[in-house]
Amino acid sequence: MSKVDLILELGVEEIPAGYFGPAISFLKEKLAGSLAEARLPFEQLKVWGAPRRLGLGLWGLADHQPDIEDEVVGPPLSAAYDSNGNPTKAATGFAGAQGVAVSDLKTVNTPKGRYLAVQKSVKGRQASEVMTTLLPELLAALPFPKNMRWGRGEYTFVRPVHWLLAVMGGEVLPLAFAGAKAGKVSYGHRFLHPGAVVITSPDEYEARLAEAHVLVDFEKRQEMVRQELDRVTRETSADLRLVADEELVEEVANLLEEPVAVLGNFDSHYLDLPLAVATTAMKEHQRYFAMTDSQGRLAPYFIAVNNTRARDMKVVRKGHERVLRARLDDARFYFNEDCKVKLADRERELEGVVFHHLLGTSWEKVTRFKALALALAEVAAPQHQEQLARAADLCKCDLVTGVVKEFPTLQGVMGREYALKSGEAPEVAEAIREHYLPVRAGGDLPASVIGAVLSVADKLDTICGCFSVGLLPSGATDPFALRRGALGIINIILDRGWRDSLEPLIDRALENLSDRAKRPAKETRAAVLDFFKTRLKNLLTGQGVSGDVAEAVLSLYSDRPLSVVLRARALEALKTKDGFKDLAQVFKRVVNIVKKFGARDDFTNWDILSHEAEKKLLGRIASLESRSGSYLNAGDFTGLLGEIASLRGPVDQFFEQVLVDDPNQDIREARIALLSRLGRLFEQIADFSRLSTV
């Protein structure tokens, strides 16, 4: 089979930096899947992205589909012929649709019964014909958060399309997209090389555009940003340190085609700004990189990364300095104004801040989760009740400050700053910052117990509040970050080693929300617990725990995150050992028998058991029952599971020598009761009936 290479590039106006990652991932996965469905194998696929273009290259693409024999199944045989054996409309219609005579149809056996079918030879199409249809559909399906219309409004895409490069095997593919017709021409850097660049294969794509001052490979562009930052830092005579920010490096790399960095400075009177305020003003408004001295203090310098190497970079630097001066003036003004009012004096202002129209103001929210935090602290931090109450009162007050209104990402950070300036205790100030943690998956967790308690209470109030009024996350959207909040709660609980159930806290949170709720508390409670169960399962499977083990544990203990994780890890470790399948089958047999006959929890006439095998098993069970509590209290589920596994021998002997369903009802009841006690020991770990033994 002959092979060809393909290069495709869509030229557009500047795409927002945050859109590239999802778009590139989609192109890779969707194109590979579409080619597999189209029966067009290939050797290599690469996707590129830069501010004004998206590109993809295919190497070793089959130049045509293989011919195949396809069996098309039609109507059931019972509906294809009447009582006289004549074909019905179902049979004739199917034959006509397939372009064959009724006599060409055959009968096939399927899981649903006997059906009519036809064997058809399907001739493979040329790859160029397939790609002419496939590629425009792929581009149209790109999952951008927002699209726009241009011209007369007949075209829709993330940004207006200006050119389309599409070449396969050296020839232009006859396709079009959003008003652009395919050709062999791309375009270079908007200012440094605005002219046309002819490209005819994926092999020359990167090199030809690099000559035109465009780096289309994101990884290379990102590395060049780092190199430029390092170059400028080394060239300065001052002892400076770059404030590390990989998120900003990634964003800047997606804003530029050929990065060029320049060092700027600002007046030292801005150095009285907190480092977080100054760096945020630089980053969020201008995409500048802040710098510190060797002591970690804010330095009067910054680095700007440009998309053009100007003839006089001094002019560029002065432009950046002028713009930043205005931003820092604003930040300094807000900060100084904020410092004129003590943080505690802003509490009542929260009555004018709407958290959500269905859930009330931020003041009401603070009142709710403060009560929740104090309830949790009775167990988790009884000696910190006073500091916790103070931190709860103050933790949202920075929402009404000028700096946080200007830079919302600084909520909590500025609360800590203003609390310290107001003379609050350091542990209270730190808890104000920490109660927002973690701010992202895998992010830092609260280091203090006060911050941890406050964070759990705040997040749980949000989750329960949203669920109680019907603001539920969907598969595609989660505007209130409820999934992240639930996972944050779980990770805090695991980090702090808290063993208590979530149920009392959820009940307390729902009680606090009773005047706002739009659905019954019982219904909301079940939905919230199931929500946490799903997050726990995802966490466990993400850590390598198999799905059946996770489900076996969660079916009994989903309200206790720490015990769930410890049980699942212990059970997963046992699962890797030799003989586990036989062991699990024995345990499942016990559980299934108990489910069949019903548990006997109040049985006491154990003297009726006379067979040696059942007496031995009874003794082992009683012994483990007396010791299991110490394992549970210590959280030693590995040890407890080892003890349970050691019952395998007596259980095997019991089943080999004893008939559970004995004709004597009293003996049968005793044996079922014995297995019920054994099943309760199993349930201290998991529901073994859910384990896969395949």
CA nearest neighbour of 454 among 531, 349, 377: 377
Which amino acid would we find at residue 693?
T
Give the residue from 522, 542, 562 where a domain finishes: 542
* 439 in Cβ contact with 247 (< 8 Å): no
CB-neighbour burial class of residue 28 (10 A; exposed 0-12, middle 13-18, buried 19+) = middle
CA nearest neighbour of 229 among 246, 216, 213: 246
Is residue 348 in a domain? Answer: no
pLDDT digits 0-9 by tens, 212-252 = 999 999 999 999 999 999 999 998 877 899 998 999 999 99
pLDDT digits 0-9 by tens, 301-358 = 999 999 988 888 899 999 999 999 999 999 999 999 999 999 999 999 999 999 999 9
What was the pLDDT predicted at 474?
A: 82
Q: Would you say the C-alpha torsion 654, 658, 663, 664 has a positive or negative sign? A: negative
- Do residues 75 and 61 share a domain? no
Is residue 535 in a domain? Answer: yes
Is residue 548 in a domain? Answer: no
- Do residues 387 and 526 share a domain? yes
Is residue 346 in a domain? Answer: no
What was the pLDDT predicted at 581?
A: 81
Q: What angle do CA 297, 298, 303 make, to 5 degrees?
A: 135
**Could you give the C-alpha distances from 209 to 76, 199, 217, 431, 438, in angstroms and in order?**
59, 9, 10, 51, 41
The CATH number assigned to the domain holding 672 equals 1.10.730.10
What is the CB neighbour count within 10 angstroms for residue 421? 14
- Do residues 282 and 358 share a domain? no
pLDDT digits 0-9 by tens, 263-277 = 999 999 999 999 999
- Do residues 112 and 153 share a domain? no
Give the residue from 542, 563, 595 where a domain finishes: 542
- Do residues 387 and 279 share a domain? no
DSSP code for 576: T
The answer on pLDDT for 694 being more than 80 is no
The answer on pLDDT for 1 being more than 80 is no
For 223-242, give the secondary structure using H, E and C: HHHHHHHHHHHHHCCCCCEE
Cα–Cα dist 320/292, whole Å: 18
Is residue 347 in a domain? Answer: no
pLDDT digits 0-9 by tens, 613-670 = 989 999 999 999 899 999 999 989 999 998 888 888 898 898 899 888 888 888 888 8
pLDDT digits 0-9 by tens, 558-572 = 899 999 999 999 999
pLDDT digits 0-9 by tens, 97-117 = 888 888 888 888 888 888 888
- Do residues 236 and 206 share a domain? no
What is the CB neighbour count within 10 angstroms for residue 42? 19
Percent share of the chain, pLDDT over 70 = 99
Cα–Cα dist 604/238, whole Å: 84
Alpha-carbon dihedral angle through residues 460, 462, 466, 471, given to the nearest 10 degrees: -120
Domain of 176, in residue numbers: 3-65+126-211
What was the pLDDT predicted at 152?
A: 80
pLDDT digits 0-9 by tens, 510-562 = 999 999 999 999 999 999 999 999 999 999 999 999 999 999 999 999 899 99
The answer on pLDDT for 609 being more than 60 is yes
What is the CB neighbour count within 10 angstroms for residue 502? 22
What was the pLDDT predicted at 363?
A: 96
- Do residues 111 and 202 share a domain? no
Cα–Cα dist 556/453, whole Å: 25
pLDDT digits 0-9 by tens, 2-59 = 899 999 999 999 999 989 889 999 999 999 999 999 999 999 999 999 999 999 999 9
The answer on pLDDT for 399 being more than 80 is yes
With cut-offs at 50, 70 and 90, classify the pLDDT of residue 403.
very high
pLDDT digits 0-9 by tens, 458-504 = 999 999 999 999 999 887 688 899 999 999 999 999 999 999 899 99
Is residue 302 in a domain? Answer: yes
Length of the chain: 694
Number of domains in the chain: 5
Threshold 0.95, pTM exceeds: no
What was the pLDDT predicted at 441?
A: 83
- Do residues 424 and 480 share a domain? yes
Alpha helices in 469-607 (DSSP H): 482-496, 503-512, 521-542, 547-557, 561-575, 580-597
The more confident residue out of 242 and 575 is 242
Cα–Cα dist 504/647, whole Å: 35
Give the residue from 154, 181, 211 where a domain finishes: 211
With cut-offs at 50, 70 and 90, classify the pLDDT of residue 415.
very high
Which amino acid would we find at residue 529?
L
- Do residues 106 and 35 share a domain? no
- Do residues 198 and 224 share a domain? no
Cα–Cα dist 142/27, whole Å: 7
Alpha helices in 339-446 (DSSP H): 362-380, 385-394, 402-406, 413-421, 426-434
Spatial CB neighbours of 449, under 8 Å, sequence gap ≥ 6: 380, 381, 384, 496
The more confident residue out of 370 and 154 is 370
Question: How would DSSP label each residue in 197-266?
Answer: EE--SGGGHHHHHHHTT----HHHHHHHHHHHHHHHHHHSSS--EE---HHHHHHHHTT-SS-EEEEEE-
CB-neighbour burial class of residue 268 (10 A; exposed 0-12, middle 13-18, buried 19+) = exposed
- Do residues 476 and 584 share a domain? no
What was the pLDDT predicted at 465?
A: 96
What was the pLDDT predicted at 693?
A: 67
Instruction: Give the DSSP H/E element, type plus range, for residue 148.
Output: strand 148-150
What is the CB neighbour count within 10 angstroms for residue 506? 23
What was the pLDDT predicted at 485?
A: 95
Q: Would you say the C-alpha torsion 338, 340, 343, 347 has a positive or negative sign? A: negative
Is residue 567 in a domain? Answer: no
* 12 in Cβ contact with 217 (< 8 Å): no
- Do residues 589 and 511 share a domain? no
What integer best gives the mean pLDDT of the chain?
Answer: 91
Is residue 151 in a domain? Answer: yes
